[in-house]
Amino acid sequence: LHACCHNPTGFDLGHADWQRVLDVVRSRKLLPLIDFAYQGFGDGLEQDAWAVRLFAAELPEVLITSSCSKNFGLYRDRTGALIVCTQDAEKLLDVRSQLAHIARNLWSTPPDHGAAVVATILGDPELKSLWADEVEAMRLRIAQLRAGLVEALQPHGLAERFAHIGVQRGMFSYTGLSPAQVQELRDHHSVYMVSSGRANVA
């Protein structure tokens, strides 16, 4: 599940939708994995955490992946976390030992400069405030780009066809363009996106 800024569609669930998903997860005794890679780019840092907090409070076990690639700009450093929520401490110890085994096999001792950057920023109130302001500025910029794209298409009679882009959240959107249309944009207008029509709106 994507907590916010669904990649690739850009469509997010509302609170009532998340409640329904929670009911299905609970009734089927599923273990949810929540991808939280775009925190802050949807409705704000705190608002985007709503579904994550709901699931962690209501379910006996939840897995949450958090990435600093987007909201800290640390793509190359692959900085993030796997957060494991369990009902009791004993189960958490079992999970931790398994994760430690997997981590040893994958990277053993990863570089820590990305994590040190994040720890420095989040550990200093002034830096944390500056970072939060920058994430908010990026969120607003992406929302303005979305609205601007739809507005720019209006004189061409295409605003209604692409209205979905204006209401979506986050960096990505499916445009609905065919591979041939994407190729046409690439070859004749220097507009680049993947052949599925998925665009980076940011």
Question: What CATH number does residue 80 fall under?
Answer: 3.40.640.10
- Within the chain, which residues score under 50 in pLDDT? none
What pLDDT does 78 receive?
84
Strand pairing category for 33-36 and 61-67: parallel
What pLDDT does 2 receive?
95
For residue 23, give its domain range: 15-122
Domain membership flag for residue 6: no
Domain count, the chain: 1
Domain membership flag for residue 47: yes
Q: Which two tokens stand for residue 74?
A: 């640390």
66: which strand partners?
36, 81
> Are the C-beta atoms of 85 and 134 separated by less than 8 Å?
no
The pTM for the full model equals 0.88
What sign does the dihedral 141-146-148-149 (CA atoms) show?
positive
What pLDDT does 76 receive?
87
